[in-house]
């Protein structure tokens, strides 16, 4: 998914366990990744239709739809045409103009995605990105694989963090945040952090990668970085992205309140 991955484990068969995890990550990337031209997601984006889609793609899209509705459309996996527009413009040293943004936005919209066990269909010109949820989803699936083997006391990092239990000595896993609150302790829990300028389209670092589905421009909200913990890394991943598009603390708190067992760990304002 374009991010580094690591597993922290203290076990006599650590190398073999890690190899199984890497094989699972490889399998999931072949379904969810925009970086692999033969992935199920890329096949869907090329043709607008995918028959007999893999369960994991449907599962990920189901959660994406839940967060879309709860966030009032702030989290929207149909933003790929707009993201591609900004990336292509930045490659030649410019920003998309208003007309280009409007045209790209006309090819987005969660309501125009049809998903069932038989097929996934997109309206003409649409494309999906799972970059705001996929890394967390992969962490969850690796955690499920390890739990099925009876393993615990492991920290999985796929760009988002998923803790299975504690450290081997019984202490919570300490996660240091880049800004704001110094540290978050994880125990059987996941953590995701999103930053407005964590990745930028332009070399000057002005145009962040989190795009506003209303304006088609990088969000200019009050948050520099937001960290959210949840039972699921995919949920934490999607919510931290949506949270960056909230306009004030009241709206941010309302978003978080809609999900039991989700905690706002830190919101670092600009």
Q: What is the pLDDT of residues 92-137, one digit of tens each?
A: 999 999 999 999 999 999 999 999 999 999 999 999 999 999 999 9
Distance CA 140, CA 231 (A): 9
| Any domain includes 258 | yes
* DSSP 8-state secondary structure symbol assigned to residue 158: S
Q: 136-171: per-residue pLDDT in tens?
A: 999 999 999 999 999 999 999 998 999 999 999 999
pLDDT digits (tens, 9 = 90+) for 37-64: 999 999 999 999 999 999 999 999 999 9
> Is 13's pLDDT higher than 70?
yes
- The range of the structural domain enclosing residue 235 comes to 6-269
- The whole-model pTM stands at 0.94
User: Residue 131 and residue 211: Cα distance in Å, rounded?
Assistant: 12
Do residues 28 and 139 touch, judged by C-beta distance below 8 A? no
Q: Does the pLDDT value for residue 180 go beyond 60?
A: no
Query: Is residue 164 assigned to a domain?
Result: yes
1 lies in some domain: no
CATH code of the domain covering residue 188: 3.10.520.10
Evaluate whether 64 touches 58 at the Cβ level (below 8 Å): no
Structurally, the chain folds into a number of domains equal to 1
Considering just the CA atoms, what is the radius of gyration of the chain in Å?
A: 18
């Amino acid at each position: 998914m374009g991010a580094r991955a690591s597993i922290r484990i203290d076990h006599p068969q650590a190398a073999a366990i890690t190899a199984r995890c890497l094989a699972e990550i490889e399998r999931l990337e072949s379904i969810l990744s925009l970086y692999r031209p033969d992935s199920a997601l890329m096949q869907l984006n090329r043709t607008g239709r995918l028959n007999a889609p893999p369960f994991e793609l449907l599962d990920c899209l189901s959660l994406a739809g839940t967060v879309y509705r709860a966030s009032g459309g702030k989290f929207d996996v149909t933003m790929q045409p707009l993201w591609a527009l900004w990336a292509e413009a930045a490659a030649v040293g410019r920003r998309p103009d208003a007309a280009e943004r409007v045209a790209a936005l006309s090819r987005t919209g969660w309501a125009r995605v049809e998903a069932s066990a038989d097929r996934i269909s997109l309206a003409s010109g649409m494309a999906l990105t799972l970059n705001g949820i996929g890394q967390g989803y992969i962490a969850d699936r690796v955690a499920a694989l390890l739990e099925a083997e009876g393993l615990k006391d492991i920290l999985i990092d796929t760009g988002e963090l998923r803790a299975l239990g504690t450290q081997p000595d019984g202490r919570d896993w300490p996660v240091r945040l880049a800004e704001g609150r110094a540290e978050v302790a994880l125990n059987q829990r996941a953590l995701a952090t999103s930053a407005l300028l964590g990745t930028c389209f332009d070399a000057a670092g002005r145009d962040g990668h989190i795009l506003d589905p209303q304006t088609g421009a990088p969000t200019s909200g009050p948050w520099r970085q937001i960290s959210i913990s949840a039972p699921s890394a995919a949920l934490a991943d999607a919510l931290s992205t949506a949270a960056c598009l909230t306009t004030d603390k009241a709206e941010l708190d309302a978003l978080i309140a809609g999900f039991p067992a989700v905690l706002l760990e830190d919101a670092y304002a600009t």
